[in-house]
Amino acid sequence: MSLQQLRTALLALALISLAGCSSLGIKPWERDVLARQEMALDAYPIDTAFDEHIYFSKEAASGGRGFGGGGCGCN
Amino acid sequence: MQLKKRSPAELRLGLMAATCALLVQSAHGQEATDTTADGEKPLQIDAGALYYKENAGRIQSYDAIVTVRKDFGDEYILGLNAAYDSLSGGSPTGAIPNRAAQTFATPSGTSVKAATGAPVTYTTASGRTVAQLSKVSVYTAAPGTLPIDSGFHDQRVAGDISWSQPLGQNNKIAVGGHLSHEEDFRSASANVSFSRDFYSKNTTLGISASTEFDNVNPVGGIPLAGSDYTKLQKGSDRTKQVTGGQLGLTQVLARNWITQVNISYDSSSGYLTDPYKIVSVLDSKGAITGYRFESRPESRARRSIYMGNKVAIGSSVLDLSLRHGTDDWGINNDTIDARYRFNLGSDDLYIEPHLRYYQQSAADFYHLYVSSPGVLPTYMSADPRLAAFTARTIGFKIGVKLQDQDEVSVRVEAYQQDAKVRSSTLTGLSGLDLNPSLQSFICQLNWRFSY
C-alpha cells in the first residue's frame, strides 16, 4: 500500500464514518444481543494474547487488531 | 388509632421477619453496588496456560498468562497482565540441508581477538583462512536435514498495565505500558489511545499511538552483519525502536452485528537483523562453500488494514476477521480468521471450531542461499519467516460456564506452514527438501472468574 493509497483509505474511512454511520445502528433498548459476553470484539483476551505471541514469532506480519505482538526477541 | 396488643412471641417473630427482610434488601443493595452498569462484576481475572510443540525437535514452550481487570465504576478501568514463557528446542538457522553432515558453532562461539580487536586467524590444510576460536561448542546437522541448534533455551517474563477512563461526555482515553525480559532481549513500550462515541454509541472512532524500545543482547554477542560465519566476528549489544499509530472505527451494523475496521502503521529502526541466523554460500554446482551471518536493513515500515466482525446467528456467534498488510521489505500478507461458537443446551456449554489461513510473499532480500563467486548482496536473509509461504490453523475450543461470567475452557489447535520454494535446480541440491514444513500443536487451558 503506497502512502497515496493509505491517504485515500483514511479519507474513505472518515467519510464513511461521518456520512454513513448516522443511518446505521440500533436503539439503546435493542442492545440485548450485543450485550452478550461472547459478542465483545475481544471476548477472550487470553486467546488473543497467546495467538498474537505465536503468530508474531512465526510470521512476518503481526498486529492490526490492536497493540499486538512485539516485546519479544523471538522475531 | 387503637394499637393491637401483641404477645412477646408474636413480637419476636415480627422482629425476625423484619430483620430478614432488611438483610435480604441489604444483600441486594450490596450486589447492585458490586456489579457494573452492564451487569459484569467489577473484578475479572483470566488465567491461561499453554503448551506449544513443533515437529522435528524444534521449539517447545510452556506459557502462562494472568490478566486482572478491575472496574472502579463509571468506566474507570485498571488492567494488569503478567506473562511467563519457558522455551527450549531450536529454530532453523537459515542454513539449507546438505548431502553431507554440517557442523556449526553454537551462538556462544566467539573468535580470539588480537589487541586491536581484529580476529586472530590461521590457515587450514585446505588453504582456507579461518578464525582461531574460543569458547566454541558445536552441533551437527545430519545429511539431508535442516540445520537446527536444538540446545536453545530461554525464559521470558512480561508485564502490562493499562488504565482507561471517560474524558468528558462520549470520550474515552486509555494509557498503557509494557515491560518484558529475556536473557538476550529486553523491551519497554507505552501506548495511548483516545476514542469518541457518536450516534447513540453506535459508532466509535479511535486514534492511538505506541512506542517501543528494545535492547538486543544475544548470547555470544552481535555478529558483524554479512560477515564470514567461520570468523565469528561479534560486537556488543544493539537497540531498536518501533513507533506506531492506528485509526479505528467500530460500528454497530445491526442488532446482531458489530464490526471494527483498523488502519495501522508502524516504523522500526535500529538492529532488525536476527543475530542467530546465517545464509548458506554455494558454488555454481550447489556445493556449500561457506556461510554468512545474515544482514537486514536497519529500517522497516509496515501498514495494515484489519476488519473484525461479530455476528450473532440465533444463539451461535460468528467471529470473522480479515487483514491485509504490506511493508517496505516487500512482504505482502493476507489473513482470514473464522471462529464459530455453538452454544449448546442452556448456553452453559459451548464448542467453537477455528480456521485460519495466512499467506505472505518473500522479503526482497530473502534468499534460500547465496552464490559465490560473485558479489554477495548487501542485505540477505534465509530466515524461513521471511520466505513466501502459506499457513493454516485448525482447532476447536470447548468451554463450560460456571456462574455469572465465570467459565473454564480448553483449546486445541494444529498449525502448518508450507514454504512456496523448497527445492533448487542446482545439481548438488537435487532431491533435497530445502525448506521443510513447520507443524505445531497447541493445547491451552483457560479459567475466568470474577468477584
pLDDT tens per residue across span B316-353: 999 999 999 999 999 999 999 999 999 997 778 999 99
Contact residues, chain A, for B321 at CB < 8 Å: 65
CA distances from B213 to A3, B204, B237 (A): 25, 30, 13
Range of the domain at A45: 35-61
Nine-digit cell at B111?
Answer: 573468535
ipTM over 0.90: no
Contact residues, chain A, for B358 at CB < 8 Å: 55, 59, 61
A33 to chain B, minimum CA–CA distance in Å? 6
Q: What are the residue ranges spanned by the domains of chain B? A: 91-402+412-443
| Contact check, Cβ <8 Å, A72/B184 | no
The domain total for chain A is: 1
Phi/psi zone of residue A69: left (φ > 0), alpha (ψ -120 to 50 degrees), beta? left
Kindly state whether residue A11 falls inside one of the protein's structural domains.
no
Q: What is the pLDDT of residues B206-258, one digit of tens each?
A: 999 999 999 999 988 999 999 999 888 888 899 999 999 999 999 999 999 99
Instruction: Tell the residue number behind the cell numbers 475496521, with chain if given.
Output: B261
Q: Could you give the CA distance from residue B290 to residue B279 in angstroms, rounded to a whole number?
A: 9
**Residue of A6, A40, A55 with shortest CB distance to B303:** A6
- Does residue B446 sit at the A interface (CB-CB below 8 Å)? yes
Tell me which of B95 and B125 has the higher pLDDT: B95
- Does residue B302 sit at the A interface (CB-CB below 8 Å)? yes
Determine the residue of chain A that is closest to B320 in CA distance: A41
Q: Could you give the CA distance from residue B156 to residue B382 in angstroms, rounded to a whole number?
A: 26
Q: What percent of chain B has pLDDT over 70?
A: 86
**Residue of B263, B302, B446 with shortest CB distance to A9:** B263
**Res. B403 pLDDT band, cuts 50 70 90:** confident
Q: Could you give the CA distance from residue B358 to residue B335 in angstroms, rounded to a whole number?
A: 4
Q: Could you give the CA distance from residue B430 to residue B125 in angstroms, rounded to a whole number?
A: 30
Kindly state whether residue A16 falls inside one of the protein's structural domains.
no
Instruction: Tell the residue number behind the cell numbers 570468523, with chain if given.
Output: B231
| Contact check, Cβ <8 Å, A49/B251 | no
**Secondary structure of residue B101 in the 3-state scheme:** coil
Contact residues, chain B, for A55 at CB < 8 Å: 358
Q: What is the pLDDT of residues B279-308, one digit of tens each?
A: 999 999 999 999 999 999 999 999 999 999
Tell me which of B159 and A22 has the higher pLDDT: B159
DSSP string, B367-426: -S-EESSSPPPSSBB--GGGS-EEEEEEEEEEEEE-STT-EEEEEEEEEEEEES----SS
Q: Could you give the CA distance from residue B428 to residue B425 in angstroms, rounded to a whole number?
A: 9
Q: Could you give the CA distance from residue B365 to residue B272 in angstroms, rounded to a whole number?
A: 13
Q: Could you give the CA distance from residue B46 to residue B143 in angstroms, rounded to a whole number?
A: 47
Nine-digit cell at B433?
Answer: 527438501
- Residue B85, pLDDT > 80, answer yes
Instruction: Tell the residue number behind the cell numbers 479505528, with chain if given.
Output: B248
A45 to chain B, minimum CA–CA distance in Å? 8
What does the mean pLDDT of chain B come to?
A: 89
Question: Contact at 8 Å (CB) between B275 and B223?
Answer: yes
Determine the residue of chain B that is closest to A75 in CA distance: B274
Contact residues, chain B, for A27 at CB < 8 Å: 200
Kindly state whether residue A40 falls inside one of the protein's structural domains.
yes
What is the arithmetic mean of pLDDT over A35-57?
Answer: 94
Please name every residue paired with B263 in a beta bridge, in sequence order, or none if there are none: B247, B305
